Amino acid sequence: MKVMIIDDEVIIRTGLCTVIDWQELGMTLLPPAESAEEALERIPDERPDIVLTDIRMPGMDGIQLAKEIKARLPDTEIVILTGYDDFGYAQQALREGVTDYLLKTSGPEEIIMAAMKAKRNLLAKWEVLKQEAVQVAALRNQWFEELLAGGGKRQTVPAPGFDPVLAWLEENGAAKTGPDGVLLPMRVMIVGASRWGDDRFAELMLEAAESQLRELLPCVTLRKGDRIVVVFRAGEGWSEGSRLGKAISRMKESLKREIFAAAGEPASALAELRRSYEEADRAFSYRLIFSEGGFFESKDMSARRGGRTVCSAKEENELSALLMNRDTAKLRAWTNDLVQERLLDPDATPASVTAFLQSVVIAAHRWLDRAGENAAEAAGGGVPAFSFHPGVRLEDELFKLLLAVLSEFHDRVGAGRYSYVHRAIAYIRHHLDRHLTLQQVAGFVHVNPNHFSEVFKKETGQSYMEFVTRERMERAANILLSTQKKISEVAGEVGYEDIKYFSQQFKKTMGRTPSEYRIMSDYLTR
């Protein structure tokens, strides 16, 4: 809060400057002025908040000076200091909006009290202005959001021929009317960062980003969560791409964050801003794919039709082997390669990438379900949804979910003296479509075949061959019930090349031939 003292008598000026500790009062003392004319010359640049002035001075007197100051700076608080105890002067001074009227014979305490009264008046005015500004900004932002969303009615109907949102855009250079009276094109852009920071600093980072955007571009900004919506003027004879590129580079450099910005196509009217916003929003969703940041336009994404959404049988088999073998290093490398392959697909969209990664998580849990009894319950029930959080790499998120499955399986089968039997069972269930010998499975768990055979029967209550046959027939029964595959295809999926032998084994185990089993099941479910 700045204070200016105006008096033609040097002893008064000096006394007021030195006797009172203005800094302790929370005020900054400007150099004193010798005359009203000098003060009026300096006031536009120095803009004092409180003025202490004499009345009788050569040239313009203090009453006229107060009138001139109030005309230029209406909120300035003025305190009159005079050597004349004249009620008429006091009345005239008060009519000109003077805060107080003191005699020069007043003690320092009275002058301090008058200055503090002026300070309190100013603080009260500023608080009112602040509250009004907050209310106006909130209402204006509400109108702006409604304009972008395209729905809802404004609480206050704009006056005919006047739109407060357009006025706001024009005031900040985001909108401009051409010589022909037509509104020049505008664009909507959405800006985000790899990480604004934790809760303590996110607000400060967002404020800094908004401030920089308004400094670097003719625009207005609106905060929506952790994103900044920007409306800026397009074209106007400057290189839009170059200017935007420089703005984003400056933000990245100063905020030490990867900046992702996505813009919709130009809009030639306020009503079209909704369309530009929706285009920017769709383009912004590609932050999942282009995590390195940069500036992107909606037209850059329009040709993408979506990539693969389901992992292949080959990928599912590779994943199962990695989970079973507990090789976390190879699982990490496999996950990185898989994700990068999807991100590099020129047709990939955020929806297709998310769906594909979810299918990988489902495949892992399906393997866990097959690997042992009650595996789904042991895993916590249900398959966690794959979700993307800005600043978290997709491969890290996927690896975390797969690692949870790996840990769950090996923690469960690792308990007990003969944990290798459970690993062997998981291996068998995963390879039912292949030729499985006892020696092969024993070799997988690194146990002598004879010892493995003996312990396996003790733990499962079945011989190795009995167990494998039972597992194959149960798998075949599930396929028969859930698909319309031919009997020969079902036989192949559970490791039998000879259909006749498969049918004999199926009937021996399940009590009916494969065809009879399917027909009976269809009949019972009608």
In SS3 terms, 175-229 reads as CCECCCCCECCEEEEEEEECCCCCHHHHHHHHHHHHHHHHHHCCEEEEEECCEEE
Residue type, 17: C
pLDDT of residue 321: 82
CA dist 337 and 328 (Å) reads 14
pLDDT at position 239 is: 46
pLDDT digits (tens, 9 = 90+) for 300-343: 888 888 889 999 888 988 898 888 777 788 999 999 999 999 99
Alpha helices, H only, 375-513: 375-378, 394-413, 419-430, 438-444, 449-460, 464-482, 487-493, 499-510
Q: Which residues fall within 8 angstroms of residue 156, CB to CB, at 6 or more apart?
A: 139
Instruction: Walk me through the domains of the chain, giving residue ranges and CATH numbers.
Output: 2-125 (3.40.50.2300), 169-175+182-301 (3.30.70.270), 304-413 (no CATH), 414-526 (1.10.10.60)
pLDDT for 184 equals 85
- Taking the chain (526 residues) in runs of 10, the rounded mean pLDDT of each run is 90 88 91 91 92 86 85 88 66 69 83 90 88 70 72 51 74 81 86 66 77 84 85 63 75 80 87 88 87 80 88 87 82 93 91 92 86 46 64 82 85 66 82 89 88 85 89 88 89 91 90 87 61
CA 94, CA 106: separation in Å to the nearest integer? Answer: 18
Query: What pLDDT is recorded for position 66?
Result: 85
pLDDT one-digit tens code per residue, 405-422:
888 877 766 655 667 787
φ and ψ at 379, to 5 degrees?
Answer: -80, 0
